[in-house]
A and B are shown apart, each in its own frame.
Chain A
Amino acid sequence: MFALGLGISGMTMPGKVIGFLDVFGNWDPSLALVMLGAIGVHLLPSIWTLRLDSPVLDDRFHLSSLQTIDRRLVAGAALFGLGWGLAGFCPGPAVVAAGVLQPQAVVFLVAMVGGMASWEVVLRVRVGAPSRAGVLSEQTRGIPRRQEGAPGLSSAVAEEPLPLARWN
């Protein structure tokens, strides 16, 4: 369903994406409607679902507990945007298009995985723990917490973020 949404919406077409980002040129605002449509549909179910004790098929939610807005978040998002505007692909559409072996998507996807792996290697060297992105809070309501995952991850949860400037 997610893939069909991406395909129908135009997100798998770099031309549409770049057209959307081409604010000062030939602007195609279509993708703004994609985001608005997605958020519009997802908003109320999201609020409603998160009031439940647990999801239907699992005993707990798996949601990020990260709160701080730090340089890493902004720098990461900025980099992602640069790459997104350069290729016209972001991760989801790349997987969908790679599924039909669209050559550009395959190239992008392989490079993307390479970039992700590079980051994991760099992070491991810097902080000696898996990426914080892999550490999800155990958000439970009335259900006993249980620690999960490789040793050292729970200490990573309590660990301070990388020593970067942060503002709340």
Chain B
Amino acid sequence: MENFTPYSALIGGALIGLAASLMLWLNGRVTGISGIVGDLLVPRESEVGWRVAFLAGLALGGVLLLPWAPQAFDPFPDRSTGALVAAGLIVGVGTRMGNGCTSGHGVCGIPRGSTRSIIATITFIFTGGLSVWLVNTFFGGVL
């Protein structure tokens, strides 16, 4: 094990869970970021305002955090721009196809007891691990 940071992980996770709880209680919605972003591409009038507000809040959160924890935004040297573009495209397609991502399926779907979310979460963690293994094995960890 390297770089194990259990306390910040738990605290950060708790904040995520709390935010998700507030969203569900106040707005009746799931904080699945891929859905919040993706459904903006299929706009329905009542569905735009709150999405923009939430995403603006996400970005603002980053701005607020930057002076306190700039290392949270350090660039990662082992991935090229090309890899990021490819990955972004794949994530974009995959999250729409699979109706969710780590926040939607993992954080929100599992507590609802959604079998779809449980299956999805297991699947993407597995292929995530596979992806890292492939890059490590065939590209020495740098792509």
Contact = CB atoms under 8 A, between A and B. Distances in A.
Interface string A57-98: 110111110111100111111111111111111111011111
B94 to A, nearest CB: 3
Contacts, number: 482
B interface, by DSSP: helix, strand, loop or mixed? helix
Contacts of A117: 41, 92
A158 interface: no
Contacts of A15: 3, 74, 76, 78
A34 B124 contact: no
B107 A38 contact: yes
A127 interface: no
B72 interface: yes
Given A1-B22, A80-B98, A115-B92, A30 B44 contact: no
Given A10-B9, A36-B13, A118-B92, A82 B131 contact: yes
Nearest to B7: A33
Contacts of B99: 64, 66, 73, 76, 132-133
Interface in B35-65: 35, 37-39, 41-42, 44, 46-47, 55, 57-65
Contacts of A125: none
Contact of B62 (A74, A78, A96, A113): A96
A102 B6 CA distance: 25
Contacts of A37: 9-14, 16-17
A86 B129 CA distance: 10
Q: Among the interface residues B22, B69, B75, B98, which one has the most CB atoms of the partner chain A within 10 A?
A: B98
Contacts of B8: 8-10, 30
Interface in A99-151: 99-100, 102-105, 107-120, 123, 130-134, 148-150
10 contacts: A1-B61, A9-B11, A36-B13, A41-B17, A84-B87, A90-B102, A91-B34, A115-B90, A120-B38, A133-B39
Interface of A: 1-16, 18-19, 21-43, 45-47, 49-50, 52, 54-58, 60-64, 66-69, 72-92, 94-100, 102-105, 107-120, 123, 130-134, 148-150, 153
